[in-house]
């Protein structure tokens, strides 16, 4: 399917980025850019898998995460090279949330993209996250939440559009499907949270998200540096896509191994 083909393309991209990163004469600035590109590709791989599950009505694949990290990551990715910049303000004792990181990243990215587009000449996007206690109201159950606000200084949204802003296929843009905010609404609801919007024409727009917080701690982080282990031997590389086989074979070769290739199980056992 489309997701499978998309992931194959990303595998080739990530593989080539990894090989380029191994170049000994690579300037530090280039190496940093390659690391960022690899991170973005890996996020895209995870996102495509989660969105496929989401499109089929699947539940979020949740894990404990730090909302501040998600916000900074989304802003750095979306606003890179933009004339707009984010100003962060997070509670020092900000609680964790239990969420599907890829889905929530998509929500935050959509809101940040909208904020940037609302300020064609650039501006400041205020990004805040605090702990709140909510009494039962509307769709929200009583309990402890992380309240996230993303506010721009843009053109604002007319009142006549506010009630429709989360409707599927509703958009005021010449180019766009109108699915971004509708998807964001569905994702947040699937996380037992809420998303609201307030806007004033000529002043700006503020999106507010409530997500249930948890007492759970983050799992141990991954090491910052990866040190490949070299060796000798023969490794079977099995994949139905030639490009994927070739890039994996090159990576195996860099580590000192010899690659043997097969496109399917029958070929592998011959």
Question: Both 110 and 202 in a single domain?
Answer: yes
**Residue 127: pLDDT over 90:** yes
**Does a structural domain hold residue 33?**
yes
How far is residue 67 from each of residues 127, 145, 209, measured CA to CA in Å? 11, 11, 11
**Does a structural domain hold residue 138?**
yes
Rounded average pLDDT over 71-96: 92
pTM of the model: 0.66
How far apart, in whole angstroms, are the C-alpha atoms of residue 67 and residue 38? 22
**Does a structural domain hold residue 220?**
no
**Does a structural domain hold residue 3?**
yes
For residue range 196-235, list pLDDT tens digits in order: 999 999 999 999 999 999 998 877 665 555 567 788 999 9
Question: Both 136 and 112 in a single domain?
Answer: yes
Nearest to 152 by CA among 194, 110, 104, 207: 207
For residue range 21-62, list pLDDT tens digits in order: 887 788 888 888 888 888 888 877 776 765 565 555 556 788
Nearest to 62 by CA among 95, 102, 94: 102
pLDDT at 152 (0 to 100): 96
- What secondary structure does DSSP assign to 124-143, as a single string? EEEEEEEEEEE-SBTTBPSE
CATH number at residue 151: 3.30.565.10
pLDDT at 177 (0 to 100): 40
How far apart, in whole angstroms, are the C-alpha atoms of residue 158 and residue 168? 18
Question: Both 154 and 118 in a single domain?
Answer: yes
Q: Any idea what DSSP says for residue 120?
A: T
**Residue 73: pLDDT over 80:** yes
How far apart, in whole angstroms, are the C-alpha atoms of residue 164 and residue 77? 28
For residue range 199-208, list pLDDT tens digits in order: 999 999 999 9
The total domain count for the chain is 3
How far apart, in whole angstroms, are the C-alpha atoms of residue 205 and residue 197? 7
Question: Both 37 and 64 in a single domain?
Answer: no
Question: Both 77 and 45 in a single domain?
Answer: no
pLDDT at 175 (0 to 100): 46
**Residue 258: pLDDT over 50:** yes
């Amino acid at each position: 399917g489309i997701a499978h083909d998309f992931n194959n393309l990303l595998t080739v991209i990530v593989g080539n980025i990894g090989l380029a990163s191994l170049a000994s004469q690579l300037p530090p600035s280039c190496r940093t850019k390659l690391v960022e590109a690899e991170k973005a590709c890996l996020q895209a791989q995870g996102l495509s898998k989660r969105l496929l599950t989401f499109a089929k009505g699947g539940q979020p694949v949740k894990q404990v995460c730090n909302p501040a990290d998600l916000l900074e990551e989304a802003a750095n990715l979306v606003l890179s090279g933009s004339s707009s910049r984010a100003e962060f303000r997070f509670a020092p004792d900000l609680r964790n949330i239990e969420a599907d990181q890829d889905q929530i990243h998509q929500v935050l990215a959509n809101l940040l993209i909208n904020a940037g587009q609302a300020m064609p000449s650039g501006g400041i996007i205020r990004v805040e996250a605090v702990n709140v206690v909510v009494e039962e109201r509307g769709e929200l159950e009583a309990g402890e939440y992380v309240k996230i606000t993303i506010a721009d200084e843009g053109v604002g949204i007319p009142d006549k559009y506010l009630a429709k802003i989360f409707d599927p296929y509703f958009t005021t843009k010449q180019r766009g499907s109108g699915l971004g905010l509708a998807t964001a609404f569905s994702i947040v609801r699937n996380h037992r949270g809420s998303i609201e919007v307030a806007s004033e024409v000529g002043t700006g727009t503020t999106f507010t998200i409530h997500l249930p917080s948890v007492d759970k701690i983050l799992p141990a982080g991954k090491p910052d540096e990866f040190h490949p282990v070299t060796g000798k031997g023969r490794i079977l590389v099995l994949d139905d896509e030639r490009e994927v086989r070739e890039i994996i074979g090159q990576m195996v070769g860099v580590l000192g191994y010899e690659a043997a290739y097969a496109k399917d199980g029958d070929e592998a056992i011959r």
